[in-house]
């Protein structure tokens, strides 16, 4: 959704609120006329008890109407604003879900969070407060000008004489506001990006307490934000007081022209009083209009930010295909780059046959995880193709693809919810006994049973209360529930204690029965029995075969096995040193 459509949707007429506000304004104007009529009665000595009671009752009624209809109008406006706010947030969130991962690579979390919180909030301010007020504050001067022209055309002209100057001045001021707001928004965005990054990297910041410069950088950003807040205050308040001055020139002109007319006998005192009251209403409501119009500019900026999300093209929504089955996975001449510059994969062609155990090995950065990401459809493949069961995944429905492939990543993401809820992510609606069965197969059940609250234990933010190995097994339990025919396992690089590693191996064996398994292996001893091992080097596949074949034919594989043996020997030596 682009800026224009979004603005139109936001500003869509709220007829009920508009009509209530109009009645409220008309009641206010009628009150003014009634007061003038009452004053006239006293001046012309025509006031009687009945007339005074009548005017009093009329005033009470009009004031009550003004207040009641104003409350109804703003109530409706608030109602529409909160509905609109919720709808826009839901639209953004559902749109985000459809966007490819490349989008999240380009944008920072703090920036997106700022748009969803701060920018969307501006829409509420506009719809609930500014929009109804802008309408009143515009309607009022219009009616007042008409009334003034009817009262005396010369006074009407005197009132609106400074108006053209004010319009010109306003144009200049709006440009200034717009420019300052742009910088202010940028500063808000940078500050929230930095703050979120700062909080999420707190362990690293603490670890480098003496040398770290991040805190200073965050403080500098905050100071810059505060200075922009101050600038915004000045750029709004100073021009507003100038506008006030310009408008009061109209009031002064009415006083001068009115006095002249009164002296020459062309204007009665009562009409002069009415003109002064009307001129006052005119200038005060135009000043309010100007200050609320500022919200219009803020809205424009917020809509622009929101459109940077909603205007992004989502992955095409292909229809679901019930005939889709697993089959072989093939990569044909795949060349892929994350940033359009460096190639992470170069002309890779390979096949993972259905129901086989496969491993991908290679040095760090050789492209192993990239192969997994492309099979998962996380990134679009622009050169070459990836097929499952002969069907190009680029033309598959997202749900279909996700039903076929499951991934256990190095960093398992856990929600701050209970263990049971975190496992249920594998299949919404899974029963308690299915969750427990999955946990048993993932070798988690014993550990969970020892917790005081068992499956209802909260895991903490990002699974903070669980160990790395436990988190991985939760991910495996999720995959058990999901029961996808293809499993990709991105083995953890960090060392896991032998007991946990043994449990994870058992869990993986349970998970991968009668499935196609692709392991991105860092520990070569886990893959000696694989049906196929792919050796990657600098984005290219340089060999493939079984462990024995590769030991005979692939020098890089031999080197890797030798290096692994050294590490294993070192680890055994280390543990012996500990025990002796």
Could you say which residues in the range 84-113 bind ligand ATP, by CB under 6 A?
105
Smallest distance from ligand ATP to CB 197, Å: 16
Instruction: Tell which residue, 284, 303, 266, 258, has the closest CA to residue 91.
Output: 303
Locus of tokens 């879900």: 97
**Sole window of 36-44, 152-160, 251-259, 366-374 interacting with ligand ATP (rule: CB under 6 A):** 366-374
**Sole window of 299-307, 363-371, 480-488, 551-559 interacting with ligand ATP (rule: CB under 6 A):** 363-371
232 near ligand ATP, rule: CB under 6 A: no
**Among 87, 121, 339, 568, which residue sits at the site for ligand ATP (rule: CB under 6 A)?**
339
Q: State the first-to-last Cα distance of the chain, in angstroms, to the nearest integer.
A: 68
Instruction: Tell which residue, 359, 353, 350, 354, has the closest CA to residue 332.
Output: 350
Residue placing its CB nearer to ligand ATP in the complex, 465 or 540: 540
**Sole window of 152-160, 300-308, 368-376, 474-482 interacting with ligand ATP (rule: CB under 6 A):** 368-376
CB 280 within 8 A of CB 157: no
d(CA 70, CA 331): 66
366 near ligand ATP, rule: CB under 6 A: yes
Smallest distance from ligand ATP to CB 361, Å: 9
**Among 14, 370, 409, 412, which residue sits at the site for ligand ATP (rule: CB under 6 A)?**
370
338 near ligand ATP, rule: CB under 6 A: yes
CB 543 within 8 A of CB 556: yes
d(CA 454, CA 192): 37
| CB-neighbour burial class of residue 530 (10 A; exposed 0-12, middle 13-18, buried 19+) | buried
364 near ligand ATP, rule: CB under 6 A: yes
Instruction: Tell which residue, 239, 226, 14, has the closest CA to residue 130.
Output: 14
Q: What is the 3-state secondary structure (H, E, C) of 27-89?
A: HHHHHHHHHHHHHHHHHCCCCCHHHHHHHHHHHHHHHHHHHHHHHHHHHHHHHHHHHHHHHHH
Smallest distance from ligand ATP to CB 367, Å: 4
d(CA 415, CA 413): 7
Smallest distance from ligand ATP to CB 536, Å: 6
Instruction: Tell which residue, 549, 530, 448, 459, has the closest CA to residue 489.
Output: 530
**Among 76, 189, 293, 368, which residue sits at the site for ligand ATP (rule: CB under 6 A)?**
368
532 near ligand ATP, rule: CB under 6 A: no
Could you say which residues in the range 441-460 bind ligand ATP, by CB under 6 A?
none
**Among 141, 367, 426, 468, which residue sits at the site for ligand ATP (rule: CB under 6 A)?**
367
Residues 169-208, mask of contacts with ligand ATP (x by CB under 6 A):
----------------------------------------
Classify 319 as helix, strand or coil. coil
365 near ligand ATP, rule: CB under 6 A: yes
| Tokens at 311, concatenated | 């205007």
**Sole window of 163-171, 219-227, 367-375, 424-432 interacting with ligand ATP (rule: CB under 6 A):** 367-375
Residue placing its CB nearer to ligand ATP in the complex, 197 or 506: 197
* Positions in the binding site for ligand ATP (CB under 6 A): 105, 338-339, 344, 362, 364-370
């Amino acid at each position: 959704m682009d800026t224009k459509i979004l603005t139109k949707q936001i500003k869509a007429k709220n007829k009920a609120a508009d009509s209530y506000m109009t009645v409220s304004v008309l009641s206010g104007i009628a009150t003014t006329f009634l007061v003038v009529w009452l004053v006239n009665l006293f001046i012309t000595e025509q006031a009687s008890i009945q007339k005074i009671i009548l005017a009093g009752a009329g005033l009470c009624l009009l004031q009550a109407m003004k207040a009641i209809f104003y409350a109804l109008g703003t109530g409706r406006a608030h109602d529409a604003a909160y509905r609109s706010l919720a709808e826009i947030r839901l639209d953004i969130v559902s749109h985000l879900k459809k966007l490819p991962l490349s989008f999240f690579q380009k944008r920072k979390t703090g920036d997106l969070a700022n748009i969803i919180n701060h920018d969307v909030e501006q829409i509420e301010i506009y719809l609930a407060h500014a929009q109804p007020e802008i309408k009143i504050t515009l309607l009022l001067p219009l009616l007042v000008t008409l009334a003034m022209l009817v009262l005396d055309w010369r006074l009407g002209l005197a009132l609106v004489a400074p108006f053209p100057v004010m319009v010109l001045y306003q144009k200049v001021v709006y440009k200034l506001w717009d420019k300052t707001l742009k910088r202010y928004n940028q500063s808000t965005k940078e500050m929230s990006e930095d703050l979120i990054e700062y909080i999420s990297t707190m362990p690293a910041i603490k670890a480098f307490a003496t040398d770290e410069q991040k805190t200073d950088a965050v403080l500098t950003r905050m100071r810059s934000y505060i200075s922009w807040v101050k600038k915004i205050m000045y750029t709004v308040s100073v021009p507003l007081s100038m506008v006030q001055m310009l408008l009061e020139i109209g009031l002064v002109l009415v006083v001068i022209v009115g006095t002249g007319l009164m002296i020459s006998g062309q204007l009665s005192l009562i009409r002069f009083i009415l003109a002064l009251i009307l001129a006052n209403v005119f200038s005060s409501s135009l000043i309010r209009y100007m200050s609320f119009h500022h919200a219009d500019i803020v809205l424009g900026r917020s809509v622009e930010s929101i459109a940077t999300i909603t205007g992004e093209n989502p992955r095409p929504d292909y229809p679901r295909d019930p005939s889709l089955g697993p089959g072989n996975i093939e990569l044909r001449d795949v060349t892929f780059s994350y940033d359009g510059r460096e190639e992470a994969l170069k002309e890779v062609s390979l096949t993972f046959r259905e129901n086989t155990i496969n491993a991908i090995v290679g040095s760090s950065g050789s492209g192993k995880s990239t192969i997994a990401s492309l099979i998962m459809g996380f990134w679009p493949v622009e050169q070459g193709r990836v097929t499952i069961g002969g069907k190009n995944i680029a033309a598959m429905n997202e749900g279909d693809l996700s039903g076929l492939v499951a991934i256990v990543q190095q960093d398992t993401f856990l929600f701050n919810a209970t263990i049971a809820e975190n496992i249920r992510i594998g299949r919404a609606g899974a029963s308690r006994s299915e969750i427990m069965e999955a946990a048993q197969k993932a070798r988690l059940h014993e550990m969970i049973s020892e917790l005081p609250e068992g499956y209802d234990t909260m895991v903490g933010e990002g699974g903070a209360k669980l160990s790395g190995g436990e988190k991985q097994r939760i991910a495996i339990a999720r995959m058990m529930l999901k029961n996808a025919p293809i499993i990709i396992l991105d083995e953890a690089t960090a060392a896991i204690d032998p007991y946990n590693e043994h449990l994870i191996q058992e869990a993986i064996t349970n998970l991968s029965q009668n499935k196609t398994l692709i392991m991105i292996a860092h520990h070569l001893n886990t893959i000696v029995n694989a049906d196929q091992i792919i050796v990657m080097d600098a984005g290219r596949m340089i060999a493939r075969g079984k462990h024995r074949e590769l030991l005979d034919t692939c020098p890089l594989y031999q080197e890797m096995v030798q290096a692994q043996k050294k590490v294993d020997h070192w680890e055994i030596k280390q543990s012996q040193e500990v025990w002796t």
